Chain A
Amino acid sequence: MQNTRMAKKEDAPISLFNARERYFQIRKKLRSYQSLMNDIKDNQHPGVLDLATHLANLNMVHAQSASIFESGDPNKITSKYLTMLKNFEMLVNEFEAVLLEAHAELTNVK
């Protein structure tokens, strides 16, 4: 309920067949957060530090799993990795919702 963007078609379940594409979708999202973080980087609110730490962690996980998903070699992608990617996508979506709200409040955008 809190997350209306989840309601859009957003996506068939992650499978062997769309894993690579979804991995790249997540990359795009993660990159798009740069400018939002830039807008709130001077703010003293301690929540900004939480958001930044979380984003650093998400970026690291994403970069670290490049060798698994980038090649698109299905032999590399085990069910463990699919579960991982699914959970990771959920984390990123949740982060996005929180970041957007923080951004709206801290930049006073109505």
Chain B
Amino acid sequence: MSTPHWSERARESLKKGTEFIAEHGTHIGMAGGGILGTMGAACAAMAIGSGDPMEATMYREGAASLILASVLKAGGFTAAEQIAKTHLKGIDHLFEDPKWKDSAARGAVPVDTSDPTQGPEFRQALKTLFNDLANDPDNRAEVVSLLRSSPMARRALLEGDPSAELKEAQGIQAGYQSGASDDNDPDPIPGPQ
């Protein structure tokens, strides 16, 4: 039995990663907008790599690019810039950011865990992306299942109030932690070295 080509497995892994974020993102304190952003980026990447060149071009040049590029930029590795510029259009300005340039010149960019889609134009782009995807039968199922598993992401898509989500995310995270915690810790886990 032969193993599928790496590109097929890359696609499968990307899906699994997105499902993971849909399932666990809230627990670890990602705000709804952050979850939505990463999901959107994954869907956009899948759509851009899809078999239909017309569709792919539409996503590559549209709102999907903006979302995808901003998630890549937040992703903590310098190659993101070149990869974004190779596959996406109209996003070069995102990398003109002096903070990015400084870090990239030093060879290490930080992971940015703030909502990658903050700002009204990104919110709008997300809505556009999800509307477009709804007409794309190959990717529709993904979007639906992802949105289904994250109520916070769903709300972020509908209402788009980042500050409210953030509070909610923090509340949920605090709740998870306090479940097992009572402050005085006798026995810390030994770390590496």
Which residues of A are in contact with B by a Cβ distance under 8 Å?
A: 2, 16-21, 24-25, 33-34, 37-38, 40-65, 67-68, 71-78, 80-81, 84, 87-88, 91, 94-95, 97-98, 101-102, 105
- Taking a contact as CB atoms under 8 Å apart, the answer to whether B189 and A16 are in contact is yes
| A-chain residues with CB within 8 Å of residue B108 when the two chains form the complex | 34
- Taking a contact as CB atoms under 8 Å apart, the answer to whether A57 and B75 are in contact is yes
Residue among B111, B185, B189 with the most chain A CB within 10 A?
A: B189
Contact of B167 with A by CB under 8 A: no
Q: Which of B79-87, B89-97, B142-150, B157-165 contacts A (4 or more CB under 8 A)?
A: B79-87
B56 to A, closest residue via Cβ? A46
- Taking a contact as CB atoms under 8 Å apart, the answer to whether A91 and B182 are in contact is no
Q: Which residue of B10, B72, B176 is within 8 Å of A98 (Cβ)?
A: B10
- Taking a contact as CB atoms under 8 Å apart, the answer to whether A53 and B189 are in contact is no
- Taking a contact as CB atoms under 8 Å apart, the answer to whether B189 and A94 are in contact is no
User: Within B135-193, which residues are at the interface with A (CB < 8 Å)?
Assistant: 176-177, 179-183, 185, 187-192
Residue among A2, A43, A54, A60 with the most chain B CB within 10 A?
A: A60
Q: Which residue of B17, B25, B29, B111 is within 8 Å of A54 (Cβ)?
A: B17
- Taking a contact as CB atoms under 8 Å apart, the answer to whether B72 and A52 are in contact is yes
- Taking a contact as CB atoms under 8 Å apart, the answer to whether A54 and B190 are in contact is no
- Taking a contact as CB atoms under 8 Å apart, the answer to whether B82 and A60 are in contact is no
- Taking a contact as CB atoms under 8 Å apart, the answer to whether A84 and B48 are in contact is no
Give the interface residue-count category, chain B. 35 or more
| A-chain residues with CB within 8 Å of residue B187 when the two chains form the complex | 74
Known contacts A19-B189, A50-B46, A52-B72; A2 and B77 CB within 8 A of each other? no
Known contacts A21-B192, A72-B191, A76-B177; A57 and B79 CB within 8 A of each other? no
Known: A37-B79, A77-B180. 14 other contacts (CB 8 A): A50-B11, A50-B46, A50-B49, A52-B75, A63-B111, A63-B113, A74-B188, A75-B181, A75-B185, A81-B176, A88-B20, A95-B13, A101-B6, A105-B6
Contact of B101 with A by CB under 8 A: no
What distance in Å separates the Cβ of B125 from its nearest Cβ neighbour in chain A? 16
A102 to B84, CA, bound (A): 18
- Taking a contact as CB atoms under 8 Å apart, the answer to whether A52 and B27 are in contact is no
| A-chain residues with CB within 8 Å of residue B46 when the two chains form the complex | 50
- Taking a contact as CB atoms under 8 Å apart, the answer to whether A102 and B28 are in contact is no
- Taking a contact as CB atoms under 8 Å apart, the answer to whether A21 and B191 are in contact is yes
